[in-house]
């Protein structure tokens, strides 16, 4: 589910929410016991300032610092932030 909000003319917020309930199991580390995947929620957030030729943004992924596993017993990253600039070159 995604939601895009315009706060003021040039400032926007995007929110993405995902629920995943996987089938199957994996070998837990270090016990190597067979463990079922647990369902989880993920939420991502983007705050963006838009101008004519550029956009500034800050992303927060896994906002609630959810612990979850993918592809076997590989734990996925917790909360992480990134920021950037997107420039439009009108050549």
pLDDT digits (tens, 9 = 90+) for 23-79: 888 777 777 788 888 899 999 999 999 999 999 999 999 999 999 887 767 788 999
**CA gap 14, 21 in Å, rounded:** 24
Residue 10 has pLDDT above 80, yes or no: yes
pTM comes to 0.79
Q: What is the DSSP letter of 30?
A: T
**CA gap 24, 58 in Å, rounded:** 35
């Amino acid at each position: 589910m995604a939601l895009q909000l315009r706060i003021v003319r040039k400032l926007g917020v995007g929110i993405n929410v995902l629920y995943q309930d996987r089938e199957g199991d994996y070998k837990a580390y270090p016990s190597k016991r067979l463990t079922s995947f647990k369902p989880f929620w993920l939420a991502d957030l983007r705050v963006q300032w838009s101008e004519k030729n550029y956009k500034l943004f800050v992303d927060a992924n896994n906002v609630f610092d959810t612990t979850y596993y993918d592809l076997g017993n590989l734990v996925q990253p917790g909360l992480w932030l990134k920021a950037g600039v997107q420039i439009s070159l009108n050549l």
